Amino acid sequence: MRGKMGQVVVSGLAALSLLGAAVPAMAVQTASQDAGVAIEPSAQSRALAARVIAITTPNMEKQLLDYMASVMAASGLRDADAQIGAWMEKNAGPILITHVRTFMGQIETVYATRFTPAELQAMVDFYESPIGRTIASKQVQIGIETGELQEPMLLAYMTDLMAQMCAANDCGDVKGGDATTGKSSRR
């Protein structure tokens, strides 16, 4: 059961990481952040950044909810524990969306701080063009697909990290390995 729950959690983390592909250039830090100085973006920059985010992530919430529903269905969690499985199926996606909305607000601030109003307007103009809309509509799906590629890597990383930590430290009296609990198969 814990292994299945861990797979769902990893899938949720992968879904969050997909936003890196869905929102262009979001990993860029601002010069003011690099200097340790916080600069409050203008209302115009915030409004333009909000438009960029909105048009570059069309149907993102629906696509994320659909993805999480497919993860839940494939997890077998309902078979392992009907009550917990039903609760997770009902709540995992909406809880993820709450966090995604917060994250998207943070990305909006990065955009508003990093780009000038003219640059943001150029992005809006591009993404509102026919080719821009086509590209934007594909970015979220590409993000989901790359998130799916990340799941096995994240699980392998967690497994390797916990195994190496337990090899170097006493992880207790646990038999059998489970990457989701951090327990070592070493004793």
Contact 134, 153 (CB under 8 A): no
pLDDT exceeds cutoff 60 at 23: no
- 109 vs 143 pLDDT, higher one: 109
pLDDT in tens, 60-81: 898 889 888 888 888 888 888 8
| Domain residue extents for the chain | 2-149
Residues 123-132 have a mean pLDDT of 96
- 112 vs 82 pLDDT, higher one: 112
| Amino acid sitting at position 171 | C
- Would you give the distance in Å from CA 81 to the centre of its chain? 26
Give the three-state DSSP class for 144: helix
Contact 56, 108 (CB under 8 A): no
**pTM check: above 0.75:** no
pLDDT in tens, 9-22: 555 555 555 554 45
| Amino acid sitting at position 129 | S
pLDDT in tens, 142-169: 887 888 888 889 889 988 988 899 889 8
pLDDT exceeds cutoff 50 at 180: no
